[in-house]
Amino acid sequence: MKVFNLNWFKKLIFWDREDDALLGPAPIASRPVRATSPYGTSIWSVGGGKGGVGKSLVASNLALALSRQGKKVLLVDADLGAANLHTFLGIDGGKGALSSFLKDEISDIGSLISKTPFPNLDLVSGAKDSLDVADVKNAHIMRLREALKKVEYDYAVLDIGPGTSSNLLDMFLMGNEGIILSTPEPTTIENNYRFLKCLYLRQIKSIADSQEDGVLNSMLQKIFSDKWSQRVKTVSDIMEQLSMLDFDQGRMLREDLSATSISMIMNQTKREEDARMGPSIQRACADYFGMDIGYLGSVGYEDCVSESIRTRRPLVMHYSASAAARSLEACLGKLMNRANKNQPVTIQF
Ligand SMILES: Nc1ncnc2c1ncn2[C@@H]1O[C@H](COP(=O)(O)OP(=O)(O)OP(=O)(O)O)[C@@H](O)[C@H]1O
Ligand SMILES: [Mg+2]
């Protein structure tokens, strides 16, 4: 049975005029490098293009599962529009909120860290009142990235709100590991392809802006000029054209793009073919983005998931025997293997 329509996918990843906005100045104008924390904190961002698909569920339970393995974990609610991560842990909002750091009311992120009842797991809550992520200044996003590099944890897990605005993409790109949540529904898949496409464009622009000599930026301008632009239809085309113009720049760009390694979890699967969509999407991303998207596995739709949220008793702790909790633990295992393979190539002090 055909579970995946490639023609539809091709159409979706083609270049849109509206994508040009993402090629505006990027805030994170420093060359991305892996694991830039002197403490060695690994930053995991959980996000995606669609709301209500399980991002907070997965972020909170991955963080809790890591802490139960003895890792020191900081869970950060970076969903400013609908901060609710504390509820997934069954606790109140915490002593401060990330929004006050991003609004420049508080300068030390450490003062926003609350202990949770769970050993090894601390929390930075999101926004007390919702804050529009579009209103966050670029400089403050950069400050958050710098602050996260300095926290003394083994892992910082970020729950990012849904969407493809440049601020959201920049927050997602703070991660060494980026985890995209999907469901088998076409609307989620469509939004996630758009998310991936925008993510790569944003990343390319950040890397170009970080260069002092501006070589990559002039190459980008060239390939988007009239003569070349007809050949640029997909993200892969951009990479190909860049490599044709300057092989070394193309290779450097590919290396830098892997600073955030991206994986996907297929959540709320109800039948076997739902789970099979994961590997199909992975293959299509390799063909049309030329990128290795890791597939971490699927988590089935189960009543105990919503029950765990309703009763404020975290899934991996109180429903650990459920298929959903075991699938999440399996995804965590794969993610850790992947993260270990992607060990830091550069350490900045
Ligand atoms: N595997 C699952 N089985 C059953 N229900 C699920 C599953 N995963 C998520 N849900 C349901 O989906 C709801 C939304 O989950 P969650 O809040 O984690 O999504 P989200 O992507 O963070 O949403 P938002 O974009 O609004 O922040 C949960 O309240 C839960 O009831
Ligand atoms: Mg959420």
Contacts of residue 122, defined as CB under 8 A and 6 or more positions apart, other chains included, come to 73, 74, 75, 113, 114, 115, 116, 153
Return d(Cα 53, Cα 111) in angstroms, integer: 31
Q: What pLDDT score was predicted for residue 136?
A: 82
Strands 113-115 and 121-124, by their bridges, are antiparallel
The sign of the torsion formed by the CA atoms of 172, 157, 259, 48 equals negative
144, with CB counted inside 10 A (0-12, 13-18, 19+), is buried
Q: What pLDDT score was predicted for residue 227?
A: 64
> Which of 45, 57, 182 should be mutated for ligand 1, with most atoms under 8 A from CB?
57
**Among 143, 162, 134, 174, CA closest to 45:** 174
What is the crossing angle of helices 235-245 and 272-288, to 10°? 20
188 C-beta closer than 6 A to ligand 1 = no
- Which DSSP string corresponds to 10-71? HHHHS--GGGGGGGS--S--S---S---TT-PEEEEEE-SSSSSSHHHHHHHHHHHHHHTT-
Give, in degrees to the nearest 5, the angle at Cα 41 between 36 and 45: 90
What is the pTM assigned to this prediction?
0.88
Domain locations in the chain as residue ranges: 6-341
DSSP state of 89: T
CA of 160 to the centre of ligand 1 (A): 13
CA 302 to ligand 1: nearest atom: 3
- Which DSSP string corresponds to 182-250? E-SSHHHHHHHHHHHHHHHHHHHHHHHHH-SS-HHHHHHHHHTSHHHHTT--SHHHHHHHHHHH-HHHH
Length of the chain: 349
Confirm if 220 and 26 have CB atoms less than 8 A apart: no
21 Cα distance to chain centroid: 20
315 C-beta closer than 6 A to ligand 1 = no
Mean pLDDT of successive 10-residue stretches along the chain, which has 349 residues: 46 49 52 53 93 97 96 94 89 82 89 94 84 79 88 94 89 93 93 87 84 85 72 77 87 82 96 91 81 92 96 96 98 92 46
CA 79 to ligand 1: nearest atom: 27
Amino acid at 319: Y
Phi then psi for residue 116, to 5 deg, are: -115, 170
Amino acid at 283: R
CA of 52 to the centre of ligand 2 (A): 7
What would the CATH number be for the domain defined by 6-341?
3.40.50.300
13 Cα distance to chain centroid: 19
Contacts of residue 214, defined as CB under 8 A and 6 or more positions apart, other chains included, come to 208
**Among 71, 113, 51, 53, CA closest to 339:** 71
> Which of 305, 319, 328, 329 should be mutated for ligand 1, with most atoms under 8 A from CB?
305
CA of 150 to the centre of ligand 1 (A): 31
275 C-beta closer than 6 A to ligand 1 = no
